[in-house]
Structure 1
Amino acid sequence: MRLKDCHNYHDFRQLAKRRLPGPIFNYIDGGADDEVTQQRNSDAFAACDLVPNVLRGVKDIDLSVTVMGQKLAMPLYCSPTALQRLFHHQGERAVAAAAAKHGTMFGVSSLGTVSLEELRKKHDTPQVYQFYFHKDRGLNSAMMQRAKEAGVEVMMLTVDSITGGNRERDLRTGFSIPFKLTLGGIMQFAIKPMWGINYVTHESFSLPQLDEHIDMDGGAMSIGRYFSEMLDPAMNWDDVAKMVQEWDGQFCLKGIMSVEDAKKAVEIGCTGIILSNHGGRQLDGSRAPFDQLKEIVDAVGDKIDVIMDSGIQRGSHVVKALALGAKAVGGGRCYLYPLAAAGQPGVERALSLMKAEIQRDMMLMGCQSVSDLHEGMLRFR
């Protein structure tokens, strides 16, 4: 199987599985506990049917959207994800370049493996900086100041990760940063030698957003300990309100799932919220974002930009979310598998295929622009 044989999300996943050592593939692929929520995230779309209109004269399709003040050429953007150079040596560089080629937004994580400054200088497409709330308030301010100086347009605070999810696949393989692999995990690396060759022949692994603040040498701090020791589970709405004021720009909260929290985000001055359950990687048994989208749009959609991620595998998923009132849709695994499979060409192909699917689906729905989509075009079983 080669890149040209990949035609959808599942094909990219299979190619990534062939190329990655098991512990790393399972880190991308896995969710929390029984992975019920992870499965539901995609299944939720199957319970919703599209009702197309015909004879609408839809020769030219406009996929552009404006979200949190950013003009995107397509309504799907690359959500920020951690550790990308573990999946492919190009990491965030590949994702940023592919997003720029398609005129869409991309995110850089505070657990990213390329510096936000490097990516900001190289690409002028909108950039999101995703970060976590630390016990050290000075560190929070320093990270926001650094993003401001780099020219980042949108700050994204993840609010559903005050502790790490129970990802049992990682426990079985010993996946952590630095690696503490089980014997079975070590064997998985031995049978995929090309990954190891690429890993040791390119620049050494680092977390440039956090290097100044965390000693990663000698196994001093694993990602798990970062979550348990440095992040502040006592974070509350007053803390976040101060950060929103301090940033004084486009600020969104990622991980909102309830109407009550969506209303609070409006009250403290956020410009966007992202309905997300972290791809099913945090609280297993939580509701799927698509299942929550309508009630949250109905409650706050006229006051704040509502975005959603988690479970996006098809262009039709994007169309359904837009019809329910999402301003844009984020994807994580839908570009991580292609990244792992083939680097920048993989991400470019994945975004091209998704764009073609969205365009085709819009045409078949009788919609010339995203604004033509509306809830009346959907029926729930």
Structure 2
Amino acid sequence: MAEIIIDPKLPSIEHLKAKTKKRIPRFAYEYLSGGCNNEVNLRKNTAEIRDIELKPYYLRDYGGIDMKTELFGHTYDAPFGISPIGLQGLIWPRATEILAKAAHDHNLPFILSTVATADVETVAEITEGKAWFQLYHPAEKELRNKLIKRVDEAGYPVLVILSDVPTFGYRPKEIKNGLSIPPKLTIPNMLQIMANPNWALSTLLAGQPEFKTLKPYVPKGLNLKHLGLFMNKTFNGRMSEDRIKEIRDMWKGKIVMKGAASHEDIQKSIEIGLDGVIISNHGGRQLDAGQSTIAVVSDIIEEFKGKTKIMMDSGMRCGPDIASTLATGAEFAFLGRAPMYGVGAMGKKGGNQAISILKRELQQVMEQLCCERVEDLHKHLIKK
């Protein structure tokens, strides 16, 4: 287990976020931090978690806390993990590998995205076969089958099916910055790169970020324009019962559906035989008019607790947010932006810094509540 060591110069995720904003080009920062449309759901995700109140019990016997949490047969050292993010190498070179190693060192689950900048085999080696893989569904079954076979052969125990990208979110900041595929090297973007020489030099030395897992399937010699056309043609994120049933028949390990946001979809996932759901709205990047993730958890928890593993991502930025999420009924939490702010701010040391902050903050909340076990956090929820 990795030791919790926190650099006092950047002692919170907000400090890491502010440092990241200064250290990388604006187009990269806005890709990481932004949402869709007017970013209503992006803000609502965090704000509604922070509307939750928890009750401390100061005069009870207290024997100390234990954050260990069992999930799918593995006991993790804390009740949270690292969410998948595409194109992580845009934020900082080798960001995927940095976070995978930090998660493994802290005995936390790391979810690799299909469109991350490290491949399946590399992350499997870093995590000793303990990482999870998020499948962005290809349009063609042949490519889907090849990806699933590689993930299986690499030893991944959990397959995460992405369900909340039937269409690409409308993200004005990314459009203006030219970060739709293919990316555009506009004059403003070039000026931003020149203003961040550490990022520019590190990126130059590491090489242009690539979708490493997909590299074997991309025709050689494509320029950026044709690569964009290839990616748009190759992937179709719209899921269906039939597609999920086919994957269930192929995959012998655990399967989780990420992006669930309704009673109907969760019920169908149980009927198909999936093992869990991650309540998610893609970090507020897909449907601005949707519910916050914590609102969905609050709505579905009584009906589905015990029938399937209920996890959540989107909106959590600190240890108290994790505590509130778990108190509402979610059994595990995943965070994407918070760990990435660590890497953006501190490079190789940033994954450990972000995870250490989150663990220390969660520990302090549980000690303050006099809550000894993660599964007892719900007893501290103040219901309104």
Q: What TM-score, normalized to structure 2? A: 0.93
Residue of structure 2 aligned with 1:128, choices 121, 127, 132: 132
Note closer, same or farther for the CA distance 1:234–1:36 as it changes in structure 2 (3 Å cut). Answer: closer
Partner SS, residue 48 of structure 1: coil
- Partner of residue 219, structure 1: 224
- Partner of residue 162, structure 2: 158
Partner SS, residue 302 of structure 1: coil
Are the equivalent residues in 1 in contact too, given 2:165–2:238 (CA < 8 A)? Answer: no
Alignment of 1:18-57 (within 5 A): 18-57=22-61
| Matching residue's letter, 1:39 | R
Note closer, same or farther for the CA distance 1:307–1:221 as it changes in structure 2 (3 Å cut). Answer: farther
Q: Deviation per CA, 1:328-365, whole angstroms, max 9, x where unpaired?
A: 10000011111111123111111111101111111111
- Partner of residue 363, structure 2: 359
Note closer, same or farther for the CA distance 1:293–1:222 as it changes in structure 2 (3 Å cut). Answer: farther
**Mean CA deviation greater in 60-69 or 22-31:** 60-69
Residue of structure 2 aligned with 1:261, choices 248, 261, 265: 265
- Partner of residue 319, structure 2: 315
1:302 corresponds to 2:294: no
RMSD of the alignment, in Å?
1.9
| Matching residue's letter, 2:236 | D
| Deviation for aligned residue 1:380 | 4.7
1:77 corresponds to 2:81: yes
- Partner of residue 336, structure 2: 332
1:377 corresponds to 2:383: no
- Partner of residue 3, structure 2: none
| Deviation for aligned residue 1:224 | 8.0
| Matching residue's letter, 2:115 | L
Partner SS, residue 130 of structure 1: strand
Partner SS, residue 42 of structure 2: helix
| Deviation for aligned residue 1:215 | 3.9
| Deviation for aligned residue 1:91 | 1.5
Unpaired runs of 5+ residues, structure 1, are none
Q: Deviation per CA, 1:211-252, whole angstroms, max 9, x where unpaired?
A: 1222484114456862x4222355311211111121021001
Partner SS, residue 245 of structure 1: helix
**Mean CA deviation greater in 118-127 or 330-339:** 118-127
- Partner of residue 167, structure 1: 171
The separation in 2 between residues aligned to 1:125 and 1:103, in whole angstroms, is 12
The separation in 1 between residues aligned to 2:177 and 2:93, in whole angstroms, is 21
Note closer, same or farther for the CA distance 1:299–1:27 as it changes in structure 2 (3 Å cut). Answer: same
Partner SS, residue 329 of structure 1: strand
Q: What TM-score, normalized to structure 1? A: 0.94
Q: Deviation per CA, 1:187-221, whole angstroms, max 9, x where unpaired?
A: 21121122111111124432221112224841144
Are the equivalent residues in 1 in contact too, given 2:311–2:333 (CA < 8 A)? Answer: yes
The share of aligned pairs that are identical, in percent, is 28
The separation in 1 between residues aligned to 2:383 and 2:10, in whole angstroms, is 31
Are the equivalent residues in 2 in contact too, given 1:3–1:342 (CA < 8 A)? Answer: no
| Matching residue's letter, 1:92 | T
**Mean CA deviation greater in 109-118 or 273-282:** 109-118
Are the equivalent residues in 2 in contact too, given 1:323–1:378 (CA < 8 A)? Answer: yes
- Partner of residue 102, structure 2: 98
Unpaired runs of 5+ residues, structure 2, are 1-5
Partner SS, residue 210 of structure 1: helix
